[in-house]
Chains A and B, each alone.
Chain A
Amino acid sequence: EAGVAQSPRYKIIEKRQSVAFWCNPISGHATLYWYQQILGQGPKLLIQFQNNGVVDDSQLPKDRFSAERLKGVDSTLKIQPAKLEDSAVYLCASSLPGTGRYGYTFGSGTRLTVV
C-alpha cells in the first residue's frame, strides 16, 4: 500500500511571498488532515477534511491560510502572504472515515523556511 505522498519536501521563501503544499492520501482514505509542526513542538491540527468537506478548521489562521480538497482526493494547503512564524513542517495525514481514533497514517511532511 502506497503511503501518504507530500511535495515538495523542502521550500524556502521570503516573507510576504506565497507558497503551496500538496498532499495525496492513501487510496480510499476519505479523511485528510493537515498539521503544522513548529520546531520544538508537537504537531497542531490546521484542518480536517471528510471527502471534500471541512470537518474542523478551528485552528486554521484563515486570514492567510487556505486549504482545498477538490474531488475528495488530493489536497493543497496555501499560505499567502507568509510570515516568519510560519516556518514549520507541514504534515499531511489520512484515514478511513471514522477510524482516526485508531491512528492516522502520516506523510513525511514539507519543511518550510520563511526568511
Chain B
Amino acid sequence: AQTVTQSQPEMSVQEAETVTLSCTYDTSESDYYLFWYKQPPSRQMILVIRQEAYKQQNATENRFSVNFQKAAKSFSLKISDSQLGDAAMYFCAYMREPGGGSEKLVFGKGTKLTVNP
C-alpha cells in the first residue's frame, strides 16, 4: 500500500522569507501523481501544485515550486516570499495512475505552517 510521510508537524517562517516543507512517499508504481494541498481554517482543501512522476522537470506555480526526486521518493514544497495568507496546514498527497477508474488521493498527516510578520 502506498504511504505518504510528512516529518515536520510544524514549521514557521518570517514574512518574505523562504520555507521548504518535506514529503516522502512509498510506492512500487512507476506512474503516479503528487500534490500539495493547502487547508486554511475554513477547512477547504486547496490545490497548490501538482507533479506528474514521468516528468523530470520540477513544477512551479508562481511563488510555489517543488523538488521532485523520483529515485529518493521525495517531493518537497518550497514557498518563496512567504505571505501571511500562506499560513495553513499543508498536505502532501499521492495518486497512482488511475486503474479501474479509482482516483484515490493518499494524504500525509500534514505540516502546520505559521508565517510571522
User: Does A40 lie at the interface of the complex (its beta carbon under 8 Å from any beta carbon of B)?
Assistant: yes
Q: B37-67 toward A: CB 8 Å interface, digit per residue (1/0)? A: 0000011111100100000000000000000
User: What residues of chain A lie closer than 8 Å to B68, measured between beta carbons?
Assistant: none
**B58 → A minimal CB distance (Å):** 17
User: What residues of chain A lie closer than 8 Å to B35, measured between beta carbons?
Assistant: 103
Q: A101-114 toward B: CB 8 Å interface, digit per residue (1/0)? A: 11110111101000
Overall SS of chain B's interface: loop
B103 with A31: CB separation less than 8 A: yes
User: Does A50 lie at the interface of the complex (its beta carbon under 8 Å from any beta carbon of B)?
Assistant: yes
**A89 → B minimal CB distance (Å):** 6
User: What residues of chain A lie closer than 8 Å to B104, measured between beta carbons?
Assistant: 45, 48, 56
Once A93-B45, A108-B43, A109-B43 are accepted as A-B contacts, the answer to whether A41 and B103 lie under 8 Å apart by CB is no
The residues of B with any CB-CB pair to A shorter than 8 Å are: 4, 33, 35, 42-47, 50, 91, 93, 95, 97-98, 100-105, 107-110
In addition to A42-B93, A42-B109, A95-B103, 20 A-B residue pairs with Cβ atoms within 8 Å of each other are: A31-B103, A42-B107, A42-B108, A42-B110, A43-B105, A43-B107, A45-B105, A48-B103, A48-B104, A55-B102, A56-B104, A91-B45, A101-B97, A101-B98, A102-B50, A104-B103, A104-B105, A106-B45, A107-B44, A109-B44
